[in-house]
Structure 1
Amino acid sequence: MSGPANRIPPLGDTEDLWRAVLAAAAGRCQCRGTCGKNHAKDGGRCKTVHGGYGPRHGTGPVRLLAAPADPADLLLPPHKAAVLPKTALIAWCPDCHDATRRTAAKTRQQATPAAESDSLFDL
C-alpha cells in the first residue's frame, strides 16, 4: 500500500513540519495539563519555551517536540504517528510529553481487560 497518505515524510519534510508546529505554538509547549500538572500559574499552559532552560538546574536548553496532540495518539507506533497531519500535532516539552505518554499508557492498561490464565490447573 503506497501513496501520499501512507508515506513516511523525508527528513526535509519532517523538519519543515516540526518548524510549522513550533511556529503555530509560538515556540512554547502547548501542554494544558495532560501531564498531571495544572500549569495554573502559567495561564493554564506549560511555560517551557524552545531553547529556554528546563525546570531543573543544569538540564541545558530545552528542545520542543512535535508530537500528537491527543494523548492516546502518543502511543501510536512510529510509522503511524509519522503520517499524522500537521493539524493533529502540537509542541511538547520533553517533561510534559513523557508524563502525558506515561499517563496514556496507564489509562490504556487499566482499560484493557485482564487476560485469562491459560494454565492447565488453577492454583
Structure 2
Amino acid sequence: MSTQVPSPTSTDLWQTVIAAAAGRCQCEGSCGKSHAKDGGRCGREHGGYQQHHGGGTVRLLAAPADPAELLLPAHRIATLPKRALAAWCPACHDGALAAARKAQRSTAPTEPDALFDL
C-alpha cells in the first residue's frame, strides 16, 4: 500500500516564502530605491499600513527573487523552486519588474528588419 503525500498548494508555498522573509519585503534596491532608512531592505511588512502609493494594507507577493526572472512567463515562474522566490511588496515588485524590462530592452539586439533590406 503506497501513501501519497499531497502536493503543496500555492497558498502553502506563499506562506513558506513569507515566513522565510519574516513577513517583510525582501527587496534590497532592485526596485530602484536604496531603502537606506530601513537598513538597505524595504521596511514594508505584510498586513502593515503603507502611507504611500494609495495607502492601505500591504499584501506581500511571492515572486522570483532574481529580478530578471520576473520577466519569465507565468507557467515558468510557477515551476521555480521555493528557494528561488522572495517576498515582495507590490511597489518594489512593480519597480523591479520595470527595471528588468528596461534592462532587457537596452540589451536586446537591434537587427534590421529583413523585410526592408535592400
**Structure-1 separation of matches of 2:24 and 2:80:** 21
Compared CA separation, residues 43 and 53, structure 1 to 2 (3 A): same
Unaligned segments of structure 2, at least 5 residues: 1-6
Which of 76, 81, 84 is the matching residue for 2:80?
Answer: 84
The aligned residue for residue 56 of structure 1 is 52
Q: Which residue of 2 aligns with 1:39?
A: 35
Amino acid at match of 2:49: Y
Once superposed, what is the RMSD of the aligned Cα atoms? 1.7
**TM-score normalised over the length of structure 2:** 0.87
Choose which of 3, 13, 34 in structure 1 pairs with 2:9. Answer: 13
1:110 counterpart = 2:106: yes
Q: How many Å apart are 1:48 and its aligned residue?
A: 0.4
Q: Offset of 1:57 from its aligned partner? A: 7.1
Q: Which residue of 1 aligns with 2:92?
A: 96
1:47-100, Cα deviation, whole Å (9 max, x unpaired): 000011123275210100000000100000000000100000000000000000
Q: Is 2:31 the partner of 1:24? A: no
C-alpha change, 1:78 and 1:121, in structure 2 (3 Å) is closer
Q: Report the equivalent of 1:7.
A: none
> What percentage of aligned pairs have identical amino acids?
57
After TM superposition, the structure 1 stretch with the greater mean CA deviation from structure 2, 58-67 or 93-102, is 58-67
> Counterpart of 2:64?
68
Cα distance in 1 for residues equivalent to 2:50 and 2:21: 18
Whole-angstrom distance in 1 between the partners of 2:117 and 2:17: 55
